[in-house]
Amino acid sequence: MGSDIIRVENMEFKILLSEAAIEDILKKLADRINKAYAGKTVDIVIVLKGGYVFGADLCKLLTFEHRIHFVKFTSYEGLKSTNVIRNDVQLTEDIENKHVLILEDIIDTGQTMDHFLKQLETENVASKALCTFLLKPESLTVDLDVEFVGCEIDDAFVIGYGMDYNELYRSLSSIYQKI
């Protein structure tokens, strides 16, 4: 699957971001985050499942002390959001008075992150920031403050680099966009 165009069931996807482009975006993102958190210890919350690849790659580039936690929300079926957010894995660690950085693979409507940020309001954290690898600004239905954005993209369905179609294609090293 190293082609510029791949077939998934009856759909075609074209390459949006190559592995080299992803690495470049990661380095730039890590530089900004390292400057923002220099000298601090940060609790990083990676949103599963899609965020696992991005989170792992980004954390390798971070130069400050950090702990890693996971949460999991479900809101997609096939190509569309169901607009119903299920919290499948909850944050169980104490994050009170800690700096929290949330890592998300892609922000589409923003509903899931809005839901999670509202949950965090009761945690009395020292600071919280949101980082996403991909942002679809045209798709946002809520007002979100996303401090760190790797790349803005159009409102198209994407797979690869942790992002899936029906739980498949997460392991593609490039990101493909539905044609």
Handedness of CA 101, 29, 12, 6 (dihedral sign): negative
Question: The tokens of 95 are what?
Answer: 């994050």
- 8 Å CB contact between 105 and 54: yes
| 11-17 and 5-8 beta bridge pairing | antiparallel
Q: Where are the beta strands (DSSP E) in 20-174?
A: 41-48, 65-77, 80-89, 99-107, 127-135, 148-152, 158-159
| Helix H or strand E segment including 19 | helix 19-36
Q: Which entry of 31, 88, 108, 114 is annotated as an active-site residue?
A: 108
Query: Is 108 marked active-site?
Result: yes
Residues classed as catalytic: 108
